[in-house]
Amino acid sequence: MNSSFDEPELLTKLAYCIDRGKVNSSSKFPADLIGLPGVEEITSELLQKNIPPKTILDEALLKGMSKVGEKFRDGKIFIPDVLISAKAMNAAMDILKPYIVKGDLKLKGKVILATVKGDLHNIGKNLVKMVLEGGGWEVIDLGIDVSSEKIIDALQMNEVKAVGLSALLTTTMLNMRDIVSDIKKSFPDLPVCVGGAPLNKKFADEIKAGLYSPDPQGFLDYLNSNFALN
Ligand code: B12
């Protein structure tokens, strides 16, 4: 479907579709956009017009997702809204994937995420993953119930800018303490960001994590402002 808009207008529309979670013209959601082109059509049209994938990523997809992250942080939208936008973002990234594989489009860097040993809660960690990926970062998701050894193995195999750890139980907060300490023994300068409902800055300072954010956006902002963007 060719919507015959010019490039800046298409980029703005694409950012809006990410923000609203509009995947394609057949999507039944959002109701007020039924029948209109979504991220799939607009991303393809921009590529057909020879707009560089990096422009599409920076000027539309990341702008749209950053709005989503900020609204979620400010309590203006809720988990289902983030999931819907993440679905739209993934649809666009699927179209851009061949350019990433070819090396035409570089992501900002790699981050490891894990829910700590003993803890099976992954909803919060998955939201962090979506927001970071939506922000242009490559996430190595080690999953739930993750040991220090698994994280250190992954760190040895990948050049990573930071690690994010999640814990939802007061009991597994203690495991988080050990994991942070193990990571810091092998990688003293690596930023480790901790999060999860029972945590606070005081605890993060006590376990010498270095970084605490109550929400995904805080971690994304940290990464974006501390590591050179390509
Ligand atoms: C869903 C849930 C489960 C599901 C998990 C399913 C899944 N796939 O995740 C299941 C049923 C498996 C479960 C099991 C248990 N649960 Co449970 N669970 C919950 C529940 C209802 C919601 C948690 C959740 O997903 N919240 C939504 C997410 C989005 O919030 P979040 O994780 O905090 O993440 C946000 C931020 O904290 C932050 N964040 C999170 N991680 C990170 C990481 C970084 C790096 C950053 C920057 C930010 C960040 O970003 C997110 C978005 O803002 C909570 C109660 C509640 N209302 O919170 C209890 C709760 C966490 N569970 C609890 C308990 C006790 C258990 C069990 C021990 C129950 C039992 N007796 O078996 C088991 C433990 C299993 C285990 N070993 O982990 C207690 C914990 C009490 C405590 N203080 O320790 C709670 C608080 C319920 C209660 N009130 O008693 N649980």
Residue 131 has pLDDT above 90, yes or no: no
Ligand 1 pocket, residue 77 CB under 6 Å: no
Sequence-ordered alpha helix ranges (H) in the chain: 7-20, 39-48, 53-56, 62-73, 79-102, 123-134, 148-157, 170-186, 201-206, 216-226
Angstrom distance (rounded) from CA 38 to CA 188? 45
First CA to last CA distance, the chain: 32
Determine whether the shortest distance from the Cβ of 229 to ligand 1 is under 6 A.
Answer: no
Confidence tier at 2 by pLDDT (50, 70, 90): very low
Q: Is there an atom of ligand 1 within 6 Å of 164 CB?
A: yes
Weakest mean pLDDT among 98-107, 120-129, 136-145: 98-107
Confidence class for position 97, pLDDT limits 50, 70, 90: confident
Span 187-212, average pLDDT: 96
Q: What is the pLDDT of residue 229?
A: 57
- Highest-confidence segment of 51-65, 76-90, 97-111, 180-194: 180-194
Q: Which of 33-37, 82-86, 172-176 has the lowest mean pLDDT?
A: 82-86
Mean pLDDT of 23-44: 96
Residue bearing the CA closest to ligand 1, atom 5: 121
Residue nearest to atom 11 of ligand 1 (CA): 121
Answer positive or negative: Cα dihedral of 159, 63, 40, 46.
negative
Q: Which atom of ligand 1 is nearest to the CA of 219?
A: 47
Quick one: tokens of 68? 């989503």
Q: What is the mean pLDDT of the chain?
A: 92
Ligand 1 atom 68: the closest Cα is on which residue?
169
* Per-residue confidence band for 5, with pLDDT thresholds at 50, 70 and 90: low
Ligand 1, atom 25, lies closest to the CA of 123
More reliable by pLDDT, 75 or 5: 75
Q: Which of 78, 121, 172 to mutate to test the pocket of ligand 1 (most atoms within 8 A of CB)?
A: 121
Distance from the alpha carbon of residue 93 to the mean position of ligand 1, in angstroms:
29
Share of the chain above pLDDT 90, in %: 80
Name the residue at shortest CA distance from atom 7 of ligand 1: 121
Q: Poorest-confidence range of 16-20, 66-70, 145-149, 182-186?
A: 66-70
168 Cβ closer than 6 Å to some ligand 1 atom:
yes
Using the atom order of ligand 1, give the atom closest to the CA of residue 165: 45
| Predicted pLDDT of residue 127 | 87
> What's the token pair of residue 104?
């035409």
pLDDT tens for residues 143-180? 999 999 999 999 999 999 999 999 999 999 999 999 99
**Domains plus CATH for the chain?**
7-102 (1.10.1240.10), 110-226 (3.40.50.280)
Number of other CB atoms surrounding residue 110 within 10 Å: 15
Distance CA 59, CA 37 (A): 18
Q: What is the pTM of this model?
A: 0.86
> Sorting pLDDT into bands at 50, 70 and 90, what band is 8?
confident
Mutate to test the pocket of ligand 1, among 168, 175, 176 (most ligand atoms within 8 A of CB): 168
Q: Does residue 85 have its Cβ closer than 6 Å to ligand 1?
A: no
Mean pLDDT in residue range 187-200: 97
